[in-house]
Structure 1
Amino acid sequence: MTVQATQQAVSKGGGRSRRTDAPATLSNLIRRPESGSLIATIAIFIFFAIFGGAKFTAQSGTATWLNPAAELGIIAIPVGLLMIAGELDLSVGSVLAASSMTLAIVSGHWGQPIIVGIVVALGLGLVTGFLNGLIVTRTQVPSFVVTLATNFGLAGLALGLTRAITGSTSVALTSESWAKHLFGSYVSGKFEVAIFWWIGVIVVVGWILHVSKYGNWIFAVGGDLVSARATGIPTDRVKIALFMGTAFGASLVGVIQTILYNSAQVANGQAFIFNSIIAVVIGGVLLTGGYGSVFGVIFGTLTFAIVGQGIYYTGWNPDWASLFLGVLLLLAVLMNNTFRRMALSYGPRKKKD
């Protein structure tokens, strides 16, 4: 992407989930980044609604996949933004665990007010994200390497400090009623309050990416970093802020889980590392950056959660669940690539002489 092209992207929103004044025809909708993931979500839901029976579509069945989708989505959406900007964060699992243990130790083991533990836990996430972003932007070391190192380092630090302080790898927490209602309760006895946190994240991040000027910056940084910097975009600050966003999302889930289950464990959270990336990729975001949408990540998260839980309602051997997920991921990537090529080939037609 040239400097001129990047300037046009920043001023007009090019390169993103397209802002266009053209009528929303079927052709335009098909070319959107979330089209493939939407089709996948609908197809997967219908599939398990047929083979899973009434239990899958019942309220209790819906809760079994919507609850984990909410927790995963809180992390996957900021991870999606970071990937649109061309970076990866493999430290979210350890950030979740460390934040969870921090809350349990501060407000459980040490007996401090729950608000103090929550603030310290969320602050730990923000500091970790800031350090990740700072190291990546200052050293130019690939974010894959930096955040992988952070993941192992923070996991070891959390384990060592937890054992030294409490003598155990599991710490109990008794939550205050307001914190329980705000972070760790159930609605109608089945649905986690995390669903509302997920909706809040969707609204905020959706506005940032698809409405505000910062969204243009994110797409420009992921599309062509050199050109984006040449147009005056503060690329380093954008990346640092995005790393802080992914770490904050992981910390928030850590807080939610700790208050929900009244305890924290050092080994918790590692599954979120690749699950969040898988959900984002299914949602149509490119690993190379510069392309994607919040809606796509939402559908990718729902698809991943439905597959992960839906297989238990079919009566099939759950040992094949990983194979099913692997095939789904491959098919989703192939389908998303097809829609991406259609989107990139779309443009104003030249008049014939």
Structure 2
Amino acid sequence: MTTTAAGTDERVVASSGISKIFKRPEIGALVAAAAVMIFFSVYTESFMTRPGVGPWLESASTYGIMAVAVALLMIGGEFDLSAGAMTGFTALTVGVLTTHWGVNIWVALLVALVFAITIGAVNGILVMKTGLPSFIVTLGTFFVLQGIDLALVKVIIGQVSIQGMSNVPYYDSVRQVFGSSFSIGGDGSVYISVLWWIAITALATWVLTRTRPGNWIFAVGGAQVSARQVGVPVFRTKVGLFVTTACAGWLVGMISLFRTSTVQSNTGVGQEFIYIICAVVGGCLLTGGYGSAIGASLGALIYGMTNQGIVYAQWDSNWLKAFLGVMLLGAVLLNRWVRERAEKSV
């Protein structure tokens, strides 16, 4: 047993305050979010005004919901490349059922949710039963969903977009849940998706830090074999994480559909990488076993602020892609530096 100079077991030596701060996975994202906010607040006049805050919060909210779910899955050691296509698939399911076949809108929502849960479960079961990398399994699911969104929807309704959702019975009541907005000081508005985002982040944080399933998530991502040996339900935990990601895709799909009353077959395609970037910026390791829901939300906030800040600054929107690359590389390097510093600060 190793002891300190004072003869105390090093395993029970209290960590310094700085060490505890730097050990938090979201600290790097918090610093970056503050820097981005300050920059655009100074560089543009409208960024922090009441009308200006709503758009970047709304943009961050939908990415944040998905980023939190993807972060949980990444902490559990897996990836889901079908997350983006899932948002479009579930929205199209509701659109086709209601506008083309006249199904009650609440029933259509439930059917779409059942589809999402089933697909998420299939992804998880395939990964666990076959031993194939989740990257490959969910990439296959991505192409299947994309093909359904493009080809099958066109066969059924003759086009690749849903129109006329606002004419569906009970549309307004559903819109209050997923697509409504509220004013902030009478001079700007915020969509209800922001409240969904906050609620999902709070729930995920509570699960990770306060519950036994949260411990299981960290365990299966950090050391799956050891976790199984000590009785952690690895199969159930990982399948549950894939289902959670699919359900988040359903929620974002409903928010998108009822905010705009329309959806296209390419909705969500390509956004799966943004979700992963947000999670990595928030401190999640690609190897699993480390990360936080708050960090993923901060990553989404950074993206939302930058996405709208570029518009306010009147820059070429293509700079956003360059920023994503820099943000990803910077986050990986910063998170590595933070962890090394935390280990030396004990």
SS in 1 for 2:47: helix
SS in 2 for 1:187: strand
Counterpart in the other structure of 2:7: none
Q: What is the alpha-carbon distance in structure 1 between the residues aligned to residue 312 and residue 229 of structure 2?
A: 54
CA change 1:264–1:314 in 2 (3 A) is closer
Matched, 1:101 2:92: yes
Matched, 1:184 2:179: yes
Q: What is the alpha-carbon distance in structure 1 between the residues aligned to residue 345 and residue 73 of structure 2?
A: 25
Matched, 1:110 2:91: no
SS in 2 for 1:302: helix
TM-score, normalised to structure 1's length? Answer: 0.88
Measure how far apart 1:23 and its partner are. Answer: 8.2
1:146-199 CA distance string (max 9 Å, x none): 000000011112322211211111112125221111111111162111111112
Alignment-mate amino acid for residue 245 of structure 1: T
SS in 2 for 1:56: coil
In structure 1, list runs of 5 or more residues that go unmatched. 1-19, 348-353
SS in 1 for 2:59: helix
Q: CA RMSD in A?
A: 1.8
Bigger shift: residues 110-119 or 166-175: 166-175
Counterpart in the other structure of 2:283: 284
1:239-271 CA distance string (max 9 Å, x none): 000000001101111111111111221110013
Counterpart in the other structure of 1:4: none
CA change 1:223–1:166 in 2 (3 A) is same
Tell me, yes or no, if the aligned pair for 1:121 and 1:255 is still in contact at 8 Å: no
Tell me, yes or no, if the aligned pair for 1:282 and 1:297 is still in contact at 8 Å: yes
Counterpart in the other structure of 1:144: 135
Q: What is the alpha-carbon distance in structure 1 between the residues aligned to residue 116 and residue 14 of structure 2?
A: 42
Bigger shift: residues 83-92 or 104-113: 104-113
* Residue-pair matches, total: 327
TM-score, normalised to structure 2's length? Answer: 0.90
In structure 2, list runs of 5 or more residues that go unmatched. 1-11
Q: What is the alpha-carbon distance in structure 2 between the residues aligned to residue 179 and residue 43 of structure 1?
A: 38
Measure how far apart 1:330 and its partner are. Answer: 1.5
Tell me, yes or no, if the aligned pair for 1:95 and 1:128 is still in contact at 8 Å: no
Measure how far apart 1:325 and its partner are. Answer: 2.5
* Percent of pairs with identical residues: 40
Q: What is the alpha-carbon distance in structure 1 between the residues aligned to residue 141 and residue 341 of structure 2?
A: 38
Alignment-mate amino acid for residue 111 of structure 1: G
Question: How does 1:179-328 map onto structure 2 within 5 Å?
Answer: 179-188=174-183, 190-328=189-327
Alignment-mate amino acid for residue 165 of structure 1: I
Question: How does 1:55-134 map onto structure 2 within 5 Å?
Answer: 55-134=46-125
Runs of at least 4 residues off by over 4 Å:
20-24, 344-347
1:276-297 CA distance string (max 9 Å, x none): 0010011010000011111111
Counterpart in the other structure of 2:4: none
Q: What is the alpha-carbon distance in structure 2 between the residues aligned to residue 187 and residue 141 of structure 1?
A: 45
